[in-house]
Structure 1
Amino acid sequence: MLTISQLATYAGVTVRAIRHYHKIGLLAEPVRDHSGYRSYDAAAVVRLIRIRTLADAGVPLARVEELLDAEPDEFAEGLTEIDRKLRAEIRRLQDTRKRLTRLAAGDHLALPQSVVEYLDRLRGLDVEERYIEMERDAWIMIAAQVPDQIDDIIVSKHRQLDDPDTLRLYSLLSDAFDWAVDDPRVDEAAEIIERQMIAAVQAGEIEVDGLDDPFINLLDSTTFDAAPVMKAIFANLEKRGWKGWTRIERVPADRLDMTPSS
């Protein structure tokens, strides 16, 4: 007969594991000898080795007893089911690792791949990181509100980057954090934005569906708080009769007589 320590040694487990198996009913507690100690036989060694083998193979302890007592066909079927679940769990963990790897890149946190690629394109155009961070935060909020539209919106933004006006605007706004409110470049930026607004109105692309007014106000305030000079650009546009930043709310009819390239 064996003590619990000897059983643990022969079965290749710890005494603590044996006590746990007793507690959950996987291994029956033996009768105690006249000194009050547990006394195990060879059958306990065999069962414990089988428990350890199944557990080491990834079988959940909740399923071990079922498999130990199963007929060969049931045993094989049970292992197949466990294998299927383990494969699914492995795929889930692999996907999690991929997401963690993407998150390590920074911009991937809460952003779809299309937006990340757009921001990377801005970096390739030497847009200042401060401005990109401001755009990134806005895109995080927008993507959460209209996830089904975000890829199409980004396609449109990529097209805009083919326009020299847009490239010039990004060049200006990239440095705008350090402008004084009376900087002459405020007027140049407003002129470019106005041309883009005219083009958007004429093309029927004046707003993103699915964004309510409080959210639009939040986006506007986020932009103005990040770069106070944006308020000066916005005020310049209001003098021209426009209203709205993220969404065009008022269109001055007399300004629409201008061509986008004028």
Structure 2
Amino acid sequence: MLTISQLAAYAGVTVRAVRHYHAKGLLPEPERDHSGYRRYDAAAVVALIRIRTLAEAGVPLSRVQELLDADDDAFAAAVEEVDRRLRAEIRERQQHRDRIARLAAGDSLALPPEAVAYLQRLRQLGVEEQVVEAERHAWILVAAQLPDQMPFYMASKNAQLDDPGVLATYRELADVVTWPAEDPRLDAVADRLTAELEAVPDDAWGHGDLPEELAELLDAVFLDSVPGARRILRRLEHNGWTGWTNVRRTAPRP
């Protein structure tokens, strides 16, 4: 006769596992010796090994007894069902791993490849990371609402980066975001933006506008994150322009 420690050793489990299987009703309680200790026979070793094997194969403990009592056909059917469940769990875990990998990838989280490439180009052109991060947040919002339009928007943004004036504005924004809300220098920034806008032909406006609700949300992000945003927009309006995301002329060309 075997002690509980010997039984556990023969079956390759812990004493705690043996007690757990007793508590679950999977392993019958054995007779006890005159001192009150459990004593096990060889049949208990076989039963425990079968329980351990099923548990290690991924069979829920709630179904182990069912499989232990099943005939060959029922056992095969139950094993097939468990296998399907395990395959589904593996697929789900792989999806979790893919999501974690995207988290580690930084820009690629929630952004399509063309947007990631655009942000990387900003960095390569010397745009400060603070400005790149603001762009990333904005494009995450756009990509969530208009995923099919992202290739068009990114092609347009890349074309803008070919303009030295636009690139200079991007580089300047890294300083602008740190200025106080009523810094007088903001007027000069708005005037330079106005000059860039005036250089765009009239027939080029409106083709890439975002839906108004989304544009308003992005404008709100700009207003909340840049202290001088309101002064810049006031100056733009004074110069005949309105909006930040969907920029529009409010006064005819001089």
> What is the TM-score of this pair, normalised by structure 1?
0.79
Change (3 A) 1:194 1:153: farther
Q: Is the aligned partner of 1:246 residue 2:245? A: yes
Question: In 2, are the aligned partners of 1:181 and 1:232 still within 8 Å (CA)?
Answer: no
Distance 2:201 2:77 in 1: 65
Residue aligned with 1:254, SS: coil
Question: In 2, are the aligned partners of 1:119 and 1:136 still within 8 Å (CA)?
Answer: yes
Partner in structure 1 of residue 80 of structure 2: 80
Distance 1:196 1:107 in 2: 30
CA RMSD of superposed structures (Å): 2.9
Distance 2:244 2:20 in 1: 65
Question: In 1, are the aligned partners of 2:236 and 2:242 still within 8 Å (CA)?
Answer: yes
Residue aligned with 1:161, SS: helix
Q: What amino acid maps onto 1:24 in structure 2?
A: K
Change (3 A) 1:5 1:31: same
Partner in structure 2 of residue 206 of structure 1: 209
Question: In 2, are the aligned partners of 1:190 and 1:233 still within 8 Å (CA)?
Answer: no
Q: Is the aligned partner of 1:42 residue 2:42? A: yes
Distance 1:68 1:196 in 2: 78
Question: In 1, are the aligned partners of 2:143 and 2:150 still within 8 Å (CA)?
Answer: no
Partner in structure 1 of residue 12 of structure 2: 12
Q: Is the aligned partner of 1:187 residue 2:184? A: no
Larger displacement relative to structure 2 (70-79 or 14-23) = 70-79
Distance 1:164 1:4 in 2: 75
Change (3 A) 1:174 1:220: same
Change (3 A) 1:128 1:177: closer
Question: In 1, are the aligned partners of 2:8 and 2:14 still within 8 Å (CA)?
Answer: yes
Distance 2:163 2:101 in 1: 32
Residue aligned with 1:245, SS: coil
Question: In 2, are the aligned partners of 1:7 and 1:40 still within 8 Å (CA)?
Answer: yes
Number of equivalences? 247
Change (3 A) 1:181 1:107: farther
Change (3 A) 1:102 1:197: farther
Distance 1:221 1:174 in 2: 19
Q: Is the aligned partner of 1:31 residue 2:31? A: yes
Residue aligned with 1:32, SS: coil
Question: In 1, are the aligned partners of 2:194 and 2:239 still within 8 Å (CA)?
Answer: no
Distance 2:189 2:211 in 1: 28
Question: In 2, are the aligned partners of 1:161 and 1:167 still within 8 Å (CA)?
Answer: no
Q: What amino acid maps onto 2:43 in structure 1?
A: A
Residue aligned with 1:19, SS: helix
Given the alignment, which residue of 141, 144, 162 partners 2:159? 162
Change (3 A) 1:176 1:194: same
Change (3 A) 1:178 1:27: same
Distance 1:192 1:165 in 2: 13
**1:63 to partner: Cα distance:** 2.2
Q: What amino acid maps onto 1:44 in structure 2?
A: A
**1:15 to partner: Cα distance:** 0.6
Change (3 A) 1:124 1:165: closer
Question: In 2, are the aligned partners of 1:11 and 1:49 still within 8 Å (CA)?
Answer: yes
Partner in structure 2 of residue 102 of structure 1: 102
Partner in structure 2 of residue 138 of structure 1: 138
Note the alpha carbon deviations across 1:36-91, whole angstroms, 9 max, x for none: 11121221111100111112222222222221111112212222222222122222
Distance 2:134 2:71 in 1: 64
Question: In 1, are the aligned partners of 2:111 and 2:140 still within 8 Å (CA)?
Answer: yes
Q: What amino acid maps onto 2:243 in structure 1?
A: G
Distance 2:163 2:203 in 1: 12
Distance 1:197 1:96 in 2: 48
Question: In 2, are the aligned partners of 1:234 and 1:245 still within 8 Å (CA)?
Answer: yes
Change (3 A) 1:159 1:211: closer
Unaligned runs of 5+ in 1: none
Residue aligned with 1:107, SS: helix
